Every structure is written in C-alpha cells, then in structure tokens.
Structure 1
Amino acid sequence: MAALRVTAQKLLQTNSAFSPLLAVPALSRACHHEPNFEYINVSKVGEKQNVGMIELNRPKALNALCDGLMAEVQTALKQFEADTDVGCIVLTGAGQKAFAAGADIKEMSGRQFQEVFGGNFLAHWSHLADTTKPVIAAVNGYALGGGCEIAMMCDIIYAGEKARFGQPEIALGTIPGAGGTQRLIRAVGKSLAMEMCLTGNPITAQEAQQAGLVSKVFPADQLVPEAVKTAEKIASHSKLVVAMAKEAVNASQEMTLREGLRFEKRIFHASFATNDRREGMAAFVEKRKADFTDS
C-alpha cells in the first residue's frame, strides 16, 4: 500500500519507472455529484462559439475520475448534444500535469464483487463513446488507467509533447475496466497493448503517435488551441453529415471489411437524402462557400 501513498510530486519527478497508480489516493477526497459542476469546467469556445469545452478540474488529485466527475461529464455531454450550435466537443484536463491520472482509487478500493458486478460499475462512462457529436481529447501530462481509457473513447486524440499514456491497473491487482484491453489493441496492435497492460509501463506522446494512438503532438501550450482549431473546422461542416461519417468510421471497428463497405455505402446513399449534400455539391459547382443547415 505504500506505493499508493506516493505523492504527486514524486510521481511527477519520476522519469523512468512509473508508480502503479490509476490516481493519487493521498490527494483524493470523497466525490459526490453536484448539479453546478463541482469537478469540471464547461464552456463554449471558438470564434462562433460552436465548440463545447469540458475541462476536468480536480488538479490536486491529478484530475482523478471519481463517480461525481464522470456523472458531470455525462451531464455536460448531454447538454452539448442538445445544443444545436455546438458541432464538436473538446475534452481536456486542468493544468499540464495530468489529463486524468485514472479512476479514484480511494473511492474504488472498498467496493466488493457483488457491488461492482450487480451495479455494472463504470458502465455510465460509456456515454462518452456513445456521443453522436465528435469529441477531441486534448491530453497534457498523464493519461493513466481510466484517463487513457476515456481518451480512447474520444474520436481524435491530440497530445502535448510531455503526455504519457498507460494502463497500470495490473500493479493494483486488477485489469482495465473501461475499454483498456479492447480499444487499446485496436489502436496500437496486440503486442504493444499486451505489453502496456501486463507491465503497466506507460508510453510517451511520441511513441503513442508512432503507434497510432495519437494523431498529432503539440507543445503543451499549443495543445488546446490546436484542438479547438480542429473542432471549429469540424463544426463548420454539416452536423448531420458529420454524425453520419462518425458512425461509419466507428462501425468499422466492429465489422468485417465486407460488412463495413456495405454499411458505408448505405450511409453514403443516405446522404443523398439530405439538404446539406445538395447544398455542398451545389456550392462546389458554383465555386462558393456552402451554407449548411444541418438538414
């Protein structure tokens, strides 16, 4: 248990062997959901205010993912889903030390099998993956355990140059429980995913990009602005067609190539029933900017 009491300072000073943490229990505190977003900051950003911003805001606990925080994220996602002005969402962590150091171990440690199995523990986290609007994870610092898992639930991952990704649950006597053994292998392949899950060793932002987990790496101070810039570009397109494209890409993870190609073709055909497809092609022919109406 001594390893679980390592301070954030020691964790941040360690460059080689990571402490087997999903969070920093010594800095955690009881976490209860409050409707006024106690554990996250929520705003609309971008020149047209069409990008939803969710900032995990438990910096003293390295943004550990307690139940209250994840419930607030779910509420914020539902609000942005219902907001017709928002075309894309950015998820990031307060500060540059951690995106999210993982699930709150202090909160989790006393749970028993009957409770977690009977209550389908962590099931509500999947709302992030089920969001129809695109979500960009802007990862600065540590994305460990649940932090890595919620980043992988997003559609695009951008990383700060000092970001670290890892699944260290094995050192706590458990395994990833929110997609770490499933999404990671689809992103980086079996060998690296197995190594990360069985050793608990993290990878750098550069290694994550090389492996295909991360699409771009930026200096830490440029990360969020670059994520917002990409989100604004996505939000400038038809929200209806963007949702169709997202659905088609995600479907590829669960289908054979033949099934996926058939699904893609049907979604492509369906786009011809939209006003935005007609407007987009007409604008191209007429050499003007398209005026999408999300219909």
Structure 2
Amino acid sequence: MGYRTLDVQEGEGRVTVRLDRPEQRNAIDLDMVRDLHAVCEDLERNPRVMILTGGTDGVFAAGADIRQLLERRTDDALAGINLRIFQRIRELPMPTVAAIDGHALGGGAELAYACDLRIATDRAVFGQPEAALGIIAGAGATWRLPRLVGESLAKEMLLTGRRLNAAEAHRFGLVTAVVPPEELPARANALVDRMLRNGPLALRLSKLAVDAPEGAHPALELVAQAVLFESEDKRERMTAFLDGRRR
C-alpha cells in the first residue's frame, strides 16, 4: 500500500520502516501517525520484526509537528494521538528495533523508546525539550525513560532539557550499540538476523513476558513455557541440538 510519510521495505522475516518527511526533519504529524497505524495493522495480521529508522542522513525524528501541537486542545491531549500509536508499536507481536541516526527529540525520542531495542550512530542525540514549550513529554517518556536510564537521569532530561549524545546513551543503557552512520543498516539487520535464528513463538512470548506488569509473574512464564513445551518448533530445535552433540 502507499504511504505518504513512510518508506516501507519488505525483507526476509522483517519490515524496514523509514520515516520520510525530510523537509520537516521527520517531525511526527497526523499523516505519519495514520501511516504508522497502517503499518501496525499489517504487522499484527502478519507478524514480522520491524526496523524503524530515519535513514542515515543525520536525523531520526525532530519531534512532534509543532505547528499541529500549537493547535491542539484538551480533547486532543486526552485522545493520546501520539501516545496510542507508540503504545501500539510497543505491543506489536514481534520485536522492534529503532535504528537512530542523528537527532531523536521529543516525540521522536519517545518513538524510539517505544521500540524493544535501539542502536544508534555516533552522531545520535536524545532529548526531551517539551517543558521548554510549556507541555510535558506526554507520549511515553515519563514512564519509559526512567525504566531505560534510571529515575534521576530521566528527571534531569525531562526537567532541564538535558540531551544525551550517543556515547552517553550507550553508557546509560538507552542504546545497545553505537556505530558509524554507514554501518547502521547492516548492524540493524544483523541484530534482526540473530533474533530470527530463534523460535518465532519463543520470541513473541519472551517479549510478552518482559513487557508484562509485575503482577503477571511468574504465572505468565509458567503458561508461556507450557505452550512452548508442546510446540513442534521446540521438539525440532531440541532434537537437532541433541543430534548435533551426538555427532
């Protein structure tokens, strides 16, 4: 299908989604929100891993579209326009990887936080400038960022506008790797390749268990493991492992 603000490419076991509003520095507007919902609908029907990127031109996403934010009112805030699409991305069945080159600010950073894993180039920058605009980071940063980097650093970013460069983001665990821009697509795909060597149902249930609320444990793990113990994929993989050891 056609997208107005995204470039979507199919690959083996994966979909690469590139934010594509270069003149607006990939600012997230209503058209992009609609396009992202369409991608999610496809990935919910036919689960694959998603790589989400802005490309390697020095910008991931400069935030929500300020012109649209300026016109939004109480009902728009309560509708959670960006929050809901970011949460939908978080809840996709298969893992998601944000491949970040350049600035990921405001809503752009929150979009990256919604993904399961993040890798970045050495010129990546993360920040939450919302308070300087008289609003809060209302699309996930207030609870996702403390879990990713710790409460104190998250509060400093949210309350003072402190930005993290790529090295700091790696040191604090926000990203798992920092690479040169030209290596970003290959490294993102290599990470996905490693995931796809594993059992697809095991991937889905592992993600579900990690993201489940605390009260769901350990019952969720017991049920998930019970399902996997009966799967043909588990039998085939364990049999192949034992056959390999016998040789």
**TM-score of the superposed pair, with normalisation by structure 2:** 0.93
Residue 223 of structure 1 and its aligned partner are, at CA, apart by 1.1
Question: Conserved in 2, the CA contact under 8 Å of 1:64 and 1:102?
Answer: yes
In structure 1, C-alpha distance between the alignment counterparts of 2:14 and 2:82, rounded to whole Å: 27
Map 1:240-279; keep pairs closer than 5 Å: 240-251=201-212, 254-255=213-214, 260-279=217-236
Distance (whole Å) between structure 2 residues aligned to residue 115 and residue 156 of structure 1: 29
Partners of 1:140 and 1:281 in 2: CA distance: 39
Greater helix share, structure number = 2
Equivalent residue letter for 2:81: F
Contact 1:59/1:95 (CA < 8 Å) preserved in 2?
no
2:3 is the alignment partner of 1:51: no
Q: Answer whether contact 1:62 1:97 (CA < 8 A) is retained.
A: no
- Deviation string 1:126-146 (CA, Å, 9 cap, x unpaired) is 211111111000010011111
Instruction: Write the letter of the residue equivalent to 2:222.
Output: K
2:63 is equivalent to residue 97 of structure 1: no
Residue equivalent to 2:103: 142
SS in 1 for 2:104: strand
- Paired AA for residue 38 in structure 1: R
Q: Measure how far apart 1:73 and its partner are.
A: 1.4
Q: Which structure 1 residue ranges, 5 or more long, are not aligned? A: 1-34, 289-295
Q: Root-mean-square deviation (CA), in Å?
A: 1.7
Alignment of 1:162 onto 2:123: yes
Larger radius of gyration: 1
* 2:70 corresponding residue in structure 1: 109
Offset of residue 265 of structure 1: 3.2
Structure 1 residues 82 and 236 mapped into 2: Cα distance closer, same or farther (>3 Å)?
Answer: farther
**Residue 220, structure 1, aligned to residue 181, structure 2:** yes
Q: Aligned runs of 1:15-94 on 2, under 5 Å?
A: 36-45=2-11, 49-83=12-46, 86=48, 88-94=49-55
CA contact (8 A) 1:56 1:92 kept: yes
1:131 aligns with 2:92: yes
1:282-293 aligned within 5 A: 282-287=239-244
Note the alpha carbon deviations across 1:98-142, whole angstroms, 9 max, x for none.
11111001111011224432x343343121111111100001001
Structure 2 partner of 1:3: none
**Equivalents in 2 of 1:133, 1:121: separation in Å?**
23
Distance 1:77 1:120 in 2: 17
Q: Which runs of 5+ in 2 are unaligned?
A: none
Q: Measure how far apart 1:36 and its partner are.
A: 1.8
Aligned-residue identity in percent = 34
Amino acid at match of 1:273: E
Secondary structure class of the residue paired with 1:217:
strand
With structure 1 as the length reference, what TM-score do the two structures score? 0.78
The match for 1:235 among 189, 196, 199 is 196
Distance 1:70 1:112 in 2: 18
In structure 2, the residue matched to 1:187 is 148
Number of corresponding residues: 244
Q: Distance in 2 between matches of 1:270 and 1:215?
A: 30
